[in-house]
């Protein structure tokens, strides 16, 4: 938000017209405020306040007056909740699990998205709009619905796919202990590849044609143009989709939560978000808040760390 | 310049809003006393809020509203995330007058100061004799007040595919030992057939099984809770099912009530179901083609010990948000003891009443066509009488159930045993109670 605001204000200052308008004084500022309120009010109410509330909760601890059930109250508890998060082995194994998930799923998904975007960008492909629509369609399906749909395809009792594979002598167990993480990864990939492809494709569209002509004159093949010209130029959007995917991975919830209903190989603490939910549903709001804050910090560190790491090479 | 001013102004507004919200929360946190409320009738017309999860409850309430113009009741269905909705409403000081709460979640909500004590209303205390004893004991926390009135129960029994047992010449088992023998015989006769399934994601069901074996999960004495989730009685049940799982005599890949479960029953792959009273409509409604093939018999027993178990069931609790206790008691009593209301709830919502009067309902003493016109409710009534009345739930039952399920699932997958699962649940109980500042110790 500050980023956008800074950028907007720089723009106003550098353009001469903007300067004149600003010098105009009070009523204009009022207009600007009026236009900003529809954004800032929900932003404060539904973003800043909940974040502040979670932070505040994470520093509280429950106490209780005597008796079998007692009366509970909370007071300042310092870093007690955070200490519990760091000592919680379930938390770290859930982080490890989605770490593995991300390390495999994100590169696979983005590689497929990149290939699809490059294919879309070649003059060779016919029926482009149909291909683009088909690839993007899964994104229009809500995550929970997609997970329910796939859970039918995975379920040995109901799935035509499993029946088909059984027919040719294969006996797949999509919900088994080793496979279920990748079955969830498959749902995410199915959902998000088209979306990422579209971001990369729009970046490809903005490359001036002259570049390709120059490359062709230099004797570059289509393959070389794709790899040596197109990919480096759209590197910033690849970085962007990677950051989105890292954030998405750390927030993984819907897919495993739905699969959990048909597979006993997904525990209630399978992903960090599921753990936070399980803890909150046990009324331990303070602990759940601390878990959420830690997840947020890890997400922040990983996504910004990745940006910094790649910013120079990607030319950001 | 003015841009900066605007931003500062907004930041101030944001901070002020935040402080207001935080201040609101801190005050609500400290004023959490659940003292007994007085029982004065209101002057004039009253509107009560009643949140529930029972299908058809709108019609039952409409009947009440027609008869009681001065006490109008508004319902809200909270089937989707029942306890999340209640917990949030309590935190926001927006709890209704009355809400449906399962027996196993009553202590949990009581430790969150969720209820008002209705014992100042004579109508509430007098209702005791109207209910099956164990249900009253749980809703009144062993007579320490009246926090809820029992609504329905889930006395357990064995659902049997008599035709499959007959076909393979296997006698319907009366004890758990006989059940294990029958499991082996059926599986031997047809490798695609199992006697039942063990649902690793269903702690409530497993709790019903250990309740039957007179296990006590919790006790309270000397100002401390005593956690005995992993008692000898529970371990006996765990070891029994562990043997069936290890011998591949029961399936572990089905969830209760899932499409997959019905598909397996549809394909005649499973011969019986260890279920509760409210389950009778599940089979009737989801497997209509199997009409006449099912019977309901008493749950297998542990040797000569004829006790039965309970799975599920609910109360209607007096919530902290209530301002009209007198009227709430009046409506709640009618809802859960009036024969007309009970008959309607049984018909529309499949509820098996907790009130003694409910057991004599005409609808519950007739034969049920789907089950060969057998008087199946007689079986449940007998089961209901044999349920251990002193069983209590813990104040962090939800967390304990989740831990039990996670570990049961591991055991079903060959990683550890069901006995380990009980230990995991025991540890989760101790940890979660400490987190809630509840004095607790392991063992008796």
Residue B272 in tokens = 């019986």
CA B95 to CA B90: how far, in whole Å? 5
Query: Is residue A17 pLDDT above 90, yes or no?
Result: no
* Min Cα–Cα distance to chain B from A11, Å: 12
Q: Does A40 touch chain B (CB under 8 A)?
A: yes
Contact B400, B425 (CB under 8 A): yes
Q: Cβ contacts of residue B323 below 8 Å, gap of 6+?
A: B97
CA B25 to CA A282: how far, in whole Å? 19
- Positive or negative, the CA dihedral B258, B247, B213, B224 is negative
Which residues face B68 on adjacent strands? Answer: none
pLDDT band at B191 (very low <50, low <70, confident <90, very high): very high
Cβ–Cβ of A269/B201 closer than 8 Å? no
For chain B, the residue count is: 444
CA A42 to CA A45: how far, in whole Å? 5
Q: What is the pLDDT of residue A171?
A: 84
Q: Give which of A264, A286, A287 to mutate to test B binding, by max B Cβ within 10 Å.
A: A264
Q: Cβ contacts of residue A211 below 8 Å, gap of 6+?
A: A229, A233
pLDDT tens-place string over residues B348-398: 888 899 998 777 788 888 899 999 999 999 999 999 989 998 899 999 999
Buried residues in A109-142 as b, exposed as e (16+ CB within 10 A) = bbebbbebbbbbbeeeeeeeeeebeebeebbeee
Q: Does A122 touch chain B (CB under 8 A)?
A: no
Query: Is residue A188 pLDDT above 80, yes or no?
Result: yes
Q: What is the pLDDT of residue B419?
A: 98
Which residues face A72 on adjacent strands? Answer: A64
- Positive or negative, the CA dihedral B165, B211, B100, B63 is positive
Q: What is the pLDDT of residue B36?
A: 53
Cβ–Cβ of B435/A287 closer than 8 Å? yes
CB-count burial class (<10 Å; 0-12, 13-18, 19+) for B75: buried
Residue in B closest to A280 by C-alpha: B84
Contact B184, B326 (CB under 8 A): no
Query: Would you list the DSSP string of B118-161?
Result: -TTSHHHHHGGGGB-HHHHHHHTTTTT---EEEEEEEEEEEEEE
CA A90 to CA A274: how far, in whole Å? 11
pLDDT band at B304 (very low <50, low <70, confident <90, very high): confident
pLDDT band at B55 (very low <50, low <70, confident <90, very high): confident
* Min Cα–Cα distance to chain B from A33, Å: 7
Q: How many CA atoms lie within 13 A of B186 on its CB side?
A: 32
Nearest to residue A73, comparing CAs of B223, B112, B432?
Answer: B112
CA B40 to CA A103: how far, in whole Å? 64
pLDDT band at B6 (very low <50, low <70, confident <90, very high): very low
Instruction: Determine the 3-state secondary structure of B32 from DSSP.
Output: coil
Q: Does B256 touch chain A (CB under 8 A)?
A: no
Measure CB to CB from residue B406 to each of A12, A26, A267 and give the nearest one: A267
Q: Does B2 touch chain A (CB under 8 A)?
A: yes
Residues 421-440 of B with CB under 8 A from A: 432, 435-438
Of A19-33, A65-79, A178-192, which has the strongest mean pLDDT?
A: A178-192
Largest CA distance in chain B: 92
C-alpha R_g of chain A? 25
Q: How many CB atoms lie within 10 A of CB A35?
A: 9
Instruction: Determine the 3-state secondary structure of B199 from DSSP.
Output: coil
Residues 208-267 of A with CB under 8 A from B: 260-262, 264-265, 267
Average pLDDT over residues A235-259: 93
CA B425 to CA B228: how far, in whole Å? 10
pLDDT band at B105 (very low <50, low <70, confident <90, very high): very high
Contact B387, B405 (CB under 8 A): no
> Cα A93 to chain center, whole Å?
20
Average pLDDT over residues A295-315: 85
CA B15 to CA B20: how far, in whole Å? 9
pLDDT band at B303 (very low <50, low <70, confident <90, very high): confident
Contact B164, B290 (CB under 8 A): no
Q: Enumerate the residues of chain A whose CB falls inside 8 A of the CB of residue B6.
A: 29, 32-33, 36
Q: Which one has a higher pLDDT value, B209 or A265?
A: B209
Q: Does A93 touch chain B (CB under 8 A)?
A: no
Q: Enumerate the residues of chain A whose CB falls inside 8 A of the CB of residue B21.
A: 49, 52-53
Three-state secondary structure readout of B12-63:
HHHHHHHHHHHHHHHHHHHCCCCCCCCCCCCCCCEEEEEEECCCCHHHHHHH
Mean pLDDT of the residues in chain A: 87
Measure CB to CB from residue B264 to each of A157, A177, A281 and give the nearest one: A157
Residue A47 in tokens = 């973003």
Contact B92, B320 (CB under 8 A): no
pLDDT band at A313 (very low <50, low <70, confident <90, very high): low
Of A166-170, B2-6, B129-133, which has the strongest mean pLDDT?
A: B129-133
Q: What is the pLDDT of residue B97?
A: 96
* Min Cα–Cα distance to chain B from A252, Å: 19
Residues 270-289 of B with CB under 8 A from A: none
Mean pLDDT of the residues in chain B: 89
Q: How many CA atoms lie within 13 A of A224 on its CB side?
A: 11
Contact B103, B391 (CB under 8 A): no
Residue B227 in tokens = 């956690």
Q: How many CB atoms lie within 10 A of CB B363?
A: 13
Nearest to residue B152, comparing CAs of B142, B138, B163, B141?
Answer: B138
Q: Does B441 touch chain A (CB under 8 A)?
A: no
CA A2 to CA A200: how far, in whole Å? 26
Q: Which one has a higher pLDDT value, B36 or B28?
A: B36
Cβ–Cβ of A53/B21 closer than 8 Å? yes
> Nearest 5°: phi and psi at B159?
-90, 130
CA B172 to CA A244: how far, in whole Å? 59
Average pLDDT over residues B151-176: 96
Instruction: Give the position of tokens 């070649």.
Output: A122
Residue in B closest to A279 by C-alpha: B399
pLDDT band at B37 (very low <50, low <70, confident <90, very high): low
pLDDT band at B154 (very low <50, low <70, confident <90, very high): very high
pLDDT tens-place string over residues B62-79: 999 999 999 999 999 999
Q: Enumerate the residues of chain B whose CB falls inside 8 A of the CB of residue A287.
A: 435
Query: Residue B159: which region, alpha, beta or left (left: phi > 0; alpha: psi -120 to 50)?
Result: beta
Residues 35-74 of B with CB under 8 A from A: none
Q: Which one has a higher pLDDT value, B276 or B2?
A: B276
Contact A71, B34 (CB under 8 A): yes
> Cα B141 to chain center, whole Å?
16
* Min Cα–Cα distance to chain A from B225, Å: 7
Query: Is residue A69 pLDDT above 50, yes or no?
Result: yes
Q: Enumerate the residues of chain A whose CB falls inside 8 A of the CB of residue B438.
A: 64, 70
Q: Enumerate the residues of chain B whose CB falls inside 8 A of the CB of residue A68.
A: 141, 144, 220, 225
Residue B19 in tokens = 């402080």
Instruction: Give the position of tokens 């269903």.
Output: B202
Name the pairing type of β-strands A72-76 and A60-64. antiparallel
Q: Does A36 touch chain B (CB under 8 A)?
A: yes
pLDDT band at B236 (very low <50, low <70, confident <90, very high): very high
CA A135 to CA A112: how far, in whole Å? 11
Of A37-41, A222-226, B228-232, which has the strongest mean pLDDT?
A: B228-232
Helix (H) or strand (E) holding A248: helix A235-250
pLDDT band at B22 (very low <50, low <70, confident <90, very high): very low
Q: Which one has a higher pLDDT value, A7 or B345?
A: B345
Q: Cβ contacts of residue B343 below 8 Å, gap of 6+?
A: B361, B362, B363
- Across the A/B interface, how many CB contacts are shorter than 8 Å? 144
Q: Does B415 touch chain A (CB under 8 A)?
A: yes
Three-state secondary structure readout of B206-229:
HHHHHHHCCCCCEEEECCEEEECC
Residue in A closest to B406 by C-alpha: A267
Residue A93 in tokens = 């194994």
CA A86 to CA A135: how far, in whole Å? 41
CA B436 to CA B167: how far, in whole Å? 54
CA A101 to CA A95: how far, in whole Å? 10
CA B247 to CA B186: how far, in whole Å? 13
Q: Does A157 touch chain B (CB under 8 A)?
A: yes
Residues 163-192 of A with CB under 8 A from B: 175, 177
Query: Is residue A1 pLDDT above 70, yes or no?
Result: no
Contact A241, A203 (CB under 8 A): no
Q: What is the pLDDT of residue B306?
A: 84
Query: Is residue B327 pLDDT above 50, yes or no?
Result: yes
CA B22 to CA A49: how far, in whole Å? 9
pLDDT tens-place string over residues A152-174: 999 887 888 888 898 888 888 89
Average pLDDT over residues A50-65: 94
Q: How many CB atoms lie within 10 A of CB B296?
A: 26
pLDDT tens-place string over residues B387-443: 998 899 999 999 999 999 999 999 998 899 999 999 999 999 999 999 999 999 998
Query: Is residue B20 pLDDT above 80, yes or no?
Result: no
Contact B274, B348 (CB under 8 A): no
């Amino acid at each position: 938000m500050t980023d956008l605001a800074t950028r907007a204000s720089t723009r106003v200052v550098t353009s001469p017209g903007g300067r004149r308008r600003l010098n105009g004084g009070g009523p204009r500022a009022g207009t600007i405020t009026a236009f900003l309120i529809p954004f800032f009010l929900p932003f404060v109410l539904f973003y800043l306040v909940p974040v502040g509330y979670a932070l505040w909760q994470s520093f509280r601890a429950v106490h209780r007056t005597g008796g079998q059930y007692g009366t509970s109250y909370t007071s300042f508890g310092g870093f007690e909740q955070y200490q519990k998060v760091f000592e919680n082995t379930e938390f770290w194994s859930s982080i490890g699990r989605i770490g593995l998930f991300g390390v495999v799923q994100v590169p696979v998904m983005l590689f497929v998205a990149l290939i699809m975007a490059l294919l879309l960008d070649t003059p060779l492909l016919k029926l482009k709009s149909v291909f683009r629509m088909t690839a993007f369609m899964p994104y229009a399906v809500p995550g929970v619905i997609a997970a329910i749909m796939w859970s039918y395809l995975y379920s040995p009792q109901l799935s035509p796919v499993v029946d088909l594979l059984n027919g040719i002598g294969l006996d797949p167990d999509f919900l088994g202990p080793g496979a279920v993480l990748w079955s969830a990864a498959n749902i995410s990939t199915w959902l998000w590849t088209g979306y990422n492809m579209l971001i990369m494709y729009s970046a490809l569209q903005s490359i001036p044609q002259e570049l390709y002509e120059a490359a062709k004159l230099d004797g570059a093949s289509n393959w070389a143009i794709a790899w040596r010209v197109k990919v480096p130029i759209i590197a910033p959007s690849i970085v962007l989709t990677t950051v989105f995917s890292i954030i998405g991975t750390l927030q993984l919830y819907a897919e495993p939560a739905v699969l959990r209903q048909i597979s006993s190989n997904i525990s209630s603490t399978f992903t960090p978000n599921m753990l936070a939910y399980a803890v909150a549903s046990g009324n331990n709001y303070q602990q759940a808040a601390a878990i959420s804050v830690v997840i947020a910090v890890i997400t922040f560190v990983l996504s910004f760390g990745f940006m910094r790491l790649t910013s120079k090479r990607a030319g950001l | 310049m003015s841009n900066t001013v605007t931003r500062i102004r907004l930041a101030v507004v944001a901070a002020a809003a935040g402080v207001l919200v935080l201040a609101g929360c801190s005050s609500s946190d400290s004023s959490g006393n659940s003292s007994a409320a007085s029982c004065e009738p209101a002057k004039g017309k009253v509107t009560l809020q009643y949140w529930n999860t029972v299908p058809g409850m709108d019609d039952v309430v409409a009947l009440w509203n027609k008869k009681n113009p001065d006490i109008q009741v508004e319902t809200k269905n909270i089937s989707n995330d029942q306890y999340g909705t209640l917990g949030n409403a309590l935190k926001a000081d927006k709890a209704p007058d009355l809400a449906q709460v399962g027996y196993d979640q009553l202590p949990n909500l009581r430790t969150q100061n969720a209820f008002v004590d209705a014992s100042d209303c004579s109508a509430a205390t007098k209702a005791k004799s109207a209910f099956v004893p164990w249900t009253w004991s749980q809703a009144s926390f062993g007579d320490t007040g009246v926090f809820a009135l029992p609504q329905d129960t889930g006395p357990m029994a064995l659902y049997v595919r008599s035709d499959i047992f007959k076909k393979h010449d296997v006698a319907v088992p009366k004890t758990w030992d006989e059940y294990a023998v029958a499991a082996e015989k059926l599986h031997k006769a047809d490798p695609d057939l199992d006697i039942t399934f063990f649902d690793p994601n269903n702690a409530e069901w497993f709790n019903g099984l250990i309740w039957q074996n007179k296990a006590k999960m919790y006790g309270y004495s000397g100002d401390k809770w005593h956690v005995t989730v992993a008692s000898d009685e529970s371990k006996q049940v765990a070891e029994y099912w562990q043997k069936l799982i290890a011998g591949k005599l029961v399936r572990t890949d089905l969830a209760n009530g899932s499409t997959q479960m019905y598909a397996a029953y549809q394909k005649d792959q499973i011969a019986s179901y260890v279920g509760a009273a409210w389950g009778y409509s599940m089979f009737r409604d989801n497997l209509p083609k199997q009409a006449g093939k099912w019977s309901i018999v008493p749950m297998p027993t542990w040797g000569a010990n004829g006790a039965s178990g309970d799975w599920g069931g609910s109360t209607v609790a007096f919530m902290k948000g209530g301002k009209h206790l007198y009227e709430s008691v009046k409506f709640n009593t009618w809802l859960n003891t009036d024969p007309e209301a009970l008959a309607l709830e049984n018909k529309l919502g499949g509820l098996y009443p907790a009130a003694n009067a409910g057991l004599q309902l005409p609808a519950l003493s007739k034969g049920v066509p789907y089950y060969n016109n057998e008087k199946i409710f007689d079986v449940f009534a007998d089961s209901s009488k044999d349920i251990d009345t002193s069983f209590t739930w813990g104040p962090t039952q939800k967390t304990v159930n989740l831990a039990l399920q996670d570990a049961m699932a591991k055991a079903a997958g060959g990683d550890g045993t069901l006995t380990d699962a009980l230990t995991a649940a025991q540890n989760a109980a101790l940890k979660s109670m400490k987190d809630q500042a509840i004095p607790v110790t392991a063992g008796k």
